[in-house]
Structure 1
Amino acid sequence: MWVLIFWVLVINFLSAQEKFTVKKIVFIGNEKTKKEVIARELSFGVGSQIDTSDLAYSENRVYGTGLFNRVKIWAERDSGDSSIVYVWVNERWYIWPFPILGWKDRDLKKMFYGAGLIHTNFRGRNEKLIFSFALGYDPWIEAEYLNPWVLGSKNLFYSVEVFYQRVKNRSKILEEEFGSFYERHLSFALTFGKRYGLYKRFWGSIGFKEISTTGEVPYMKTLSPSGRDQMFVFGGGFRYDTRDIPIYPSRGFLVSVGYKFNRLVNCDCFFLQGGLEFQGFKKIGIGLIASRFFILNSFGREIPVYSHFYFGYNERIRGYFNDVFEGENIFGGTVEYRIPFVKQKFFKWNKAPLEEFSILRFGVDLVLFGDFGNTWFNREKVLKLRYLSGCGVGINFILPYDLILSVGFARNDTGRGQFFIDFKGGFE
């Protein structure tokens, strides 16, 4: 039924807009942020011939950096067909200690809590320094530094991360046989990359990871009979991203490819994992078509249980929202038609304790959706799998600071219906 509704609503209007030449770009409101950090997100420069749609697109690109509460870009005629473009931003508060309270795997029963310290715009260059820890479900401690722009015009970026976490076993197969157990994950990763133009990024990484388990029969839970896997991890990938806002976009698409090679040092084992993701967003008729498709595969003589893929945790199929499906490979997709019920608007909170918290974004979308996918092990025949699916209707609440709350009703391919509440109304 939802497919029929989509087709009824598919009406696309095209309109031509008058173009003008950019004579000068003026930046306003960026007291801490370097103007080049903003300029590199613009789809135009001085001398470019653009129209008002380019201004709207670049406005969302700058907002999508996460550095600003609000962004406005407009042009004023100067002489002839040339114009001066003004870029106004309202900066967020960039450095603070912050509380951590949430739940893992989109499950309200898996609460965690903690604290951290973050600088989201170190040196005014969108560099990030993060230290955090959490207790409760799957406790962790992490330190990370991200620099998205190294050596100016070279367009290089890098990040360094040290991470430790205790993880409750996710495998229902092993839990039924041996009971519940925990994994301890310790990792160090160094990532380098290069940005080509506005949309393309290549990256490579090297790191070290140690994973150990608790309980009996450790040889069933790790590749090493000792119950402790130590490995070097080498990765690489490519990302092409034209989305205007990474969280809840209104236009553009994403293509991402990445793989990681895991070579154990304490036993003669290795495995390769990775895959492809596509996201697309296009305004059609009175709403927006939003789609996402992904596939992740595992290659190797044996794949450790801690590297299995799942539906029912971070990835979900609405209609099977709380059901867990496990495998060494996973494939899934989502198609949504989002109709603005309350158009996204910015509100001024005059009594905000700090100016950086004074501008808030709200909006409500009615969503018609369809999900599908499945997991499988390497020994299974993919063509003989029964793919799971669900469709339904929901409401997405677009809240300040990039929070998305989704509530709705879904019915799966067996006819079972269910209500759901989710904090992943976007695709990130």
Structure 2
Amino acid sequence: MHKFIILLLCLPLTLLSAQRVQVSEIVFIGNQITQQWVIERELRFDVEDSVSADDLEKARLRLLSLGIFNNARVDFDDEGVVTVQVSEQFRYIPVLGTDAVEGSFNDALKEPSKLMDIVVFTAGVADINHRGSGAMAGVLGEFGARSGISVEYRTRWLSARYPVALNFGVRSMRISDRHASVLGFSRRMRNDRAFIDIATRRGAPSRVGMLLKYDHVEESEDFPAMGKSYDVGWIAPYVILDRRNLEWFPTDGLFARGDLDAAFGSELFFRSRAVIARYLPFSESYRAVTLAMRGYSGTASSNTPPWARYYFGFADKFRGYSSEQTEAATYLAGEIELRFPITRELTYDVPLAGRYGDDIPFWLGGAVFFERAQTQLDGTRNDLYAYGAALHIRVPYVQVLEVSAAANRDDEKEFVFSTGVRF
């Protein structure tokens, strides 16, 4: 009897989700900068198509994945009129920030004298919705652990007629010699880079791409570097399967990617990487309690020069080991997280920002996690594992801030602050 009553209570919700209407008209509100075709491509339905409330929710999350809206709403009425309402973010944003790319902030606090060897300070400007197309163009200057300038342009879809994603840029940097850092030395080397990345449109459920890159690397003449100079071209095809419901905070779906890097010029060597992630929600809400799992690996040929190997404890970190610097020719890692909401989503307005301050979302979420990794170099294997908890804070522009506390197998504890979730 109790089961029958519960079934009757749940039935209206199921019917509401499954109810379909024929679209008679699509009305767009709030896109004063964003071109209409940018929004239309994420809806994946048109006039006279039949849609359900579930279809509209998926379209809303795809719009949020663009990263150019504070919020988005997609609704329909009994007449089949679909209303798409977005609140746009300001196009031009100053980029002022700092990041621990050669260790962790914990290391910098323990040894303030090494601050400029661990932390990079960034200043620049970015247009996050270039010409209303959802493309990003930016110029960044950096100093500290990495110094120089970079220019980049990135689009999800080149134009309404050409569903091609394009990403290109140049940079000239003085960067850390991470091979030397692992051996306990502080060395810098020069890296000039130009690249172009062409793929089928970003955000598509499956896509293929090709990264073409040129690197000029000059090592220091001081030990353990040998003063070598490298001029290397890269041909790097990749394939992506993306079924996530929301790119920057997925709670449902699947993501997989495989990369193959072929380098030629001063040296001839190969690398490959693979990642697969699965997200299993316990309800239909986009902020549902979610079990998130990821496995990732990489390998490099034996003749790969030290600067092109894999490094952890620098910009890429294993949780619980952000202060432990590791060099690897191969690695295999896996992690599992249980994510859960702490507060419901709230929205607020910032009148001083005008319409760009409308409908800004805020929420808190949490996670508990376990991570295991294995790295190997020249026959030496390193086994790592850590566990801990994280706090997620929803903010505009960077989407999510994460504060995590982790303990590793040696019972060492650390706190790490970062932008975005791990995966």
Q: 1:47 — aligned with what?
A: 48
Q: Which of 141, 145, 152 is matched with 1:137 structurally?
A: 145
For the 8 Å contact 1:293–1:333, the answer to whether it is kept is yes
What is the TM-score when the length of structure 1 is the normalising length? 0.84
Deviations 1:137-183, CA, capped at 9 Å, x for gaps:
2113111222332353441222221111111122367634xx32111
Question: Cα 1:136–1:153, aligned 2, differ >3 Å: closer, same or farther?
Answer: same
> What RMSD, in angstroms, separates the aligned Cα atoms of the two structures?
2.6
For the 8 Å contact 2:74–2:83, the answer to whether it is kept is yes
Q: Runs of 5+ in structure 1 lacking a partner? A: 1-12
State the shift of 1:72 in Å: 0.7
Cα distance in structure 2, aligned partners of 1:386 and 1:142? 35
Q: How does 1:282-297 map to 2 (within 5 A)?
A: 282-284=280-282, 287-297=289-299
Q: 1:189 — aligned with what?
A: 195
- Matched AA of 2:207: R
Deviations 1:311-360, CA, capped at 9 Å, x for gaps:
3223333333422222112221221111111123322223x234313443
Cα distance in structure 1, aligned partners of 2:179 and 2:63? 41
Cα distance in structure 1, aligned partners of 2:220 and 2:333? 32
State the shift of 1:129 in Å: 1.9
How many residues end up aligned between the 2 structures? Answer: 395
Q: 1:302 — aligned with what?
A: 303
Cα distance in structure 2, aligned partners of 1:319 and 1:197? 32
For the 8 Å contact 2:182–2:325, the answer to whether it is kept is no
Cα distance in structure 2, aligned partners of 1:129 and 1:424? 20
Task: Give the 3-state SS of the residue equivalent to 1:27 in structure 2.
Answer: strand
Cα distance in structure 2, aligned partners of 1:363 and 1:96? 23
State the shift of 1:89 in Å: 0.4
- Matched AA of 1:272: F
Matched, 1:198 2:169: no
Q: Which of 377, 396, 416 is matched with 1:421 structurally?
A: 416
Of 390-399 and 127-136, the range deviating more from structure 2: 390-399
For the 8 Å contact 1:169–1:175, the answer to whether it is kept is no
- Matched AA of 1:398: R
Of 45-54 and 304-313, the range deviating more from structure 2: 45-54
Deviations 1:72-97, CA, capped at 9 Å, x for gaps:
1111111xxxx221110011111244
For the 8 Å contact 2:240–2:256, the answer to whether it is kept is yes
Cα distance in structure 1, aligned partners of 2:45 and 2:252? 17
Q: 1:8 — aligned with what?
A: none
Task: Give the 3-state SS of the residue equivalent to 1:40 in structure 2.
Answer: helix
Q: How does 1:4-83 map to 2 (within 5 A)?
A: 15=14, 17-20=17-20, 21-78=22-79, 83=80
Q: Runs of 5+ in structure 2 lacking a partner? A: 1-10, 109-117
Question: Cα 1:240–1:370, aligned 2, differ >3 Å: closer, same or farther?
Answer: same
Q: How does 1:58-207 map to 2 (within 5 A)?
A: 58-78=59-79, 83-104=80-101, 107-108=104-105, 109=108, 110-150=118-158, 152-171=160-179, 175-176=183-184, 179-195=185-201, 198-207=204-213
- Matched AA of 2:219: T
Q: 1:279 — aligned with what?
A: 277
Cα distance in structure 1, aligned partners of 2:93 and 2:408? 44
State the shift of 1:425 in Å: 5.2
Cα distance in structure 2, aligned partners of 1:244 and 1:105? 33
For the 8 Å contact 2:103–2:325, the answer to whether it is kept is no
Task: Give the 3-state SS of the residue equivalent to 2:315 in structure 1.
Answer: coil
Cα distance in structure 2, aligned partners of 1:376 and 1:122? 43
Of 89-98 and 69-78, the range deviating more from structure 2: 89-98
- Matched AA of 2:375: T
Q: 2:403 — aligned with what?
A: 407
Question: Cα 1:424–1:113, aligned 2, differ >3 Å: closer, same or farther?
Answer: closer
State the shift of 1:209 in Å: 1.1
State the shift of 1:71 in Å: 0.5
For the 8 Å contact 1:309–1:375, the answer to whether it is kept is no
Q: How does 1:200-239 map to 2 (within 5 A)?
A: 200-217=206-223, 221=225, 227-239=228-240
Matched, 1:392 2:388: yes
State the shift of 1:206 in Å: 2.1
Q: 1:3 — aligned with what?
A: none
For the 8 Å contact 1:319–1:391, the answer to whether it is kept is yes
Cα distance in structure 2, aligned partners of 1:236 and 1:185? 22
State the shift of 1:386 in Å: 5.9
Task: Give the 3-state SS of the residue equivalent to 2:59 in structure 1.
Answer: helix
Cα distance in structure 2, aligned partners of 1:143 and 1:64? 23
Question: Cα 1:132–1:368, aligned 2, differ >3 Å: closer, same or farther?
Answer: same
For the 8 Å contact 2:349–2:357, the answer to whether it is kept is no
For the 8 Å contact 1:276–1:295, the answer to whether it is kept is yes
Task: Give the 3-state SS of the residue equivalent to 1:149 in structure 2.
Answer: coil
Cα distance in structure 2, aligned partners of 1:150 and 1:30? 19
- Matched AA of 1:369: F
Task: Give the 3-state SS of the residue equivalent to 2:78 in structure 1.
Answer: strand
Of 273-282 and 13-22, the range deviating more from structure 2: 13-22
For the 8 Å contact 1:68–1:91, the answer to whether it is kept is yes
- Matched AA of 1:407: V
Structure 1 segments (4+ residues) deviating >4 Å: 13-16
Cα distance in structure 2, aligned partners of 1:101 and 1:368? 26
Deviations 1:246-305, CA, capped at 9 Å, x for gaps:
2222322211112221102xx4x3111121112222212661112222111112x41111
Cα distance in structure 2, aligned partners of 1:361 and 1:314? 29
- Matched AA of 2:388: G
Q: 1:270 — aligned with what?
A: 268
Task: Give the 3-state SS of the residue equivalent to 1:171 in structure 2.
Answer: helix
Task: Give the 3-state SS of the residue equivalent to 1:36 in structure 2.
Answer: helix
Cα distance in structure 2, aligned partners of 1:205 and 1:97? 28
